[in-house]
């Protein structure tokens, strides 16, 4: 059984001065368990799509492995529900080498969190506020290229067009346009899925722009830095901690990116006309 990403439900819509019956597509949200060598590690609430990308991206962003090739195998296993029909959840079973598993056991934690919780299960403030990885120099983008990158995302959001309820993470380059996009009910999940998709294709993220359809939180900056993305653009604003982390990483942060322009928060050396 393949779990769909959306489901149609009945609803009453108030239009003018009366209720109208009809249907509404809503995104599927379900428990996604992640295990390594059959040892439980995390339970996240996510959209059941692009799950192999999610498994790999989560594993990379958590620092459990350093490269896609360090993951030996991924199994997507649906856990049957009580009625024998719809699954009650999905387990992503990853297999990694013994050395990696010993390292993971040494910092063993169990993670259980709400939708897209990007920092669940961290054992200390030091882990939550770990210094970000320095990003590559990248290239310089014209302001018009920033706007083209942001504009490329919305037409590709098939699930959000259907449900109006999911986030997206997209990767854009001047040479190829929108290279990849992933959607999920959680913005962190969408970014992990994108990370996994790019890693599976051995795509170097240093030459492009990461576009998010959400606010910029500190977890997104940390994940983007691990991906090696120098430019992060989003339709909303950053938090104070996200801005501080971006500055530490040497990242270019573009916020409130809309059709009529954007706001440059830091890293002006990568945006034409901003540094001088």
| Structure confidence by residue, pLDDT tens digits, 153-174 | 999 999 999 999 999 999 999 9
For residues 193 and 236, membership in a common domain is answered with yes
In terms of domains, do 99 and 122 share one? yes
Does one domain contain both 147 and 265? yes
| Same-domain check for residues 75 and 168 | no
Q: What is the mean pLDDT of residues 88-110?
A: 89
Tokens found for residue 239: 């938090």
**In a shared domain, residues 118 and 185:** no
Give the burial string for 43-59 (b: 16+ CB within 10 Å, else e).
Answer: bbbbbbbbbbbbbbbbb
Spatial separation of the C-alpha atoms in residues 49 and 146, rounded to whole Å: 28
Q: Label residue 227 by pLDDT band (50, 70, 90).
A: very high
The DSSP annotation for 159-182 comes to HHHHHS--EEEEEEETTTEEEEEE
Q: Sort residue 147 into left (φ over 0), alpha (ψ -120 to 50) or beta.
A: alpha
275 located within any domain: no
Domain CATH code at residue 85: 3.10.20.10
> Do 113 and 228 fall into the same domain?
no
pLDDT above 60 (res 101) = yes
Among 91, 80, 83, which Cα is nearest to 35's? 91
Is 43 strand, coil or helix?
Answer: strand
Q: What total of structural domains would you count in the chain?
A: 2
Integer-rounded Cα Rg, in Å, for the chain is: 19
Instruction: Tell me the pLDDT tens digit for each residue of 32-63.
Output: 999 999 999 999 999 999 999 999 999 999 99
* pLDDT at residue 124, as a whole number: 54
Average pLDDT, the chain: 91
Given this model, what pLDDT does residue 86 score?
Answer: 74
The pLDDT value recorded for residue 110 is 45
Q: Are residues 215 and 163 in the same domain?
A: yes
Q: Which of 81, 98, 128 is the last residue of a domain?
A: 128
Chain-centroid distance, C-alpha 102: 27
Q: What is the share, in percent, of the chain residues with pLDDT greater than 90? A: 83
d(Cα 31, Cα 42) in Å, to the nearest integer?
10
Q: Which pTM was predicted?
A: 0.92
Tell me the pLDDT band of 111, cut-offs 50, 70 and 90: very low
CA torsion 57-62-64-65 (nearest 10°) is 40
pLDDT of residue 231: 98
Residue 219 lies in a domain: yes
Angstrom distance (rounded) from CA 193 to CA 250 = 24
Tens digits of per-residue pLDDT, 191-221?
999 999 999 999 999 999 999 999 999 999 9
CATH classification of the domain holding 212: 3.40.140.10
State yes or no: pLDDT of 99 exceeds 80. yes
- Residue range(s) defining the domain that contains residue 189: 143-270
| Rounded distance between C-alpha atoms, residue 103 and residue 63, angstroms | 10
Whether 182 and 75 share a structural domain: no
The residues annotated with a catalytic role in the active site are: 117
Reported as a pLDDT band with limits 50, 70 and 90, residue 119 is: low
């Amino acid at each position: 059984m393949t779990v769909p990403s959306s489901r149609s439900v009945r609803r009453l819509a108030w239009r003018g001065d009366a209720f109208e019956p009809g249907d509404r597509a809503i995104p599927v949200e379900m428990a996604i368990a992640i295990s390594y060598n059959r040892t439980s590690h995390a339970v996240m609430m996510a959209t059941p799509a692009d799950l192999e990308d999610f498994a790999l991206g989560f594993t990379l962003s958590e620092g459990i492995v350093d490269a896609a090739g360090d993951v030996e195998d991924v199994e997507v296993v649906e856990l049957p529900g009580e009625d024998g029909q719809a699954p009650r959840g999905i387990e992503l079973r990853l297999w990694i080498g013994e050395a990696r598993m010993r390292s993971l056991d040494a910092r063993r934690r169990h993670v259980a969190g709400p939708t897209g919780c990007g920092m669940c299960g961290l054992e200390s403030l030091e882990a939550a506020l770990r210094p970000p990885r320095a990003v590559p120099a990248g290239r310089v983008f014209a302001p018009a290229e920033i706007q083209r990158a942001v504009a490329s995302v919305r037409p590709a959001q098939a699930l959000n067009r259907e449900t109006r309820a999911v986030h997206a993470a997209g990767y854009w380059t001047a040479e190829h346009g929108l290279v990849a996009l992933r959607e999920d009910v959680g913005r962190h999940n969408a970014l992990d899925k994108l990370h996994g998709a790019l890693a599976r294709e051995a795509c170097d993220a240093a030459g492009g722009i990461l576009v998010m359809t959400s606010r910029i939180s500190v977890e997104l900056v940390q994940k983007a830095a691990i991906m090696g993305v120098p430019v992060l653009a989003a339709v909303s604003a950053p938090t104070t901690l996200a801005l501080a982390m971006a500055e530490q990483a040497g990242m270019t942060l573009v916020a409130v990116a809309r059709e009529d322009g954007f706001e440059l928060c830091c890293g002006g050396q990568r945006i034409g006309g901003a540094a001088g």
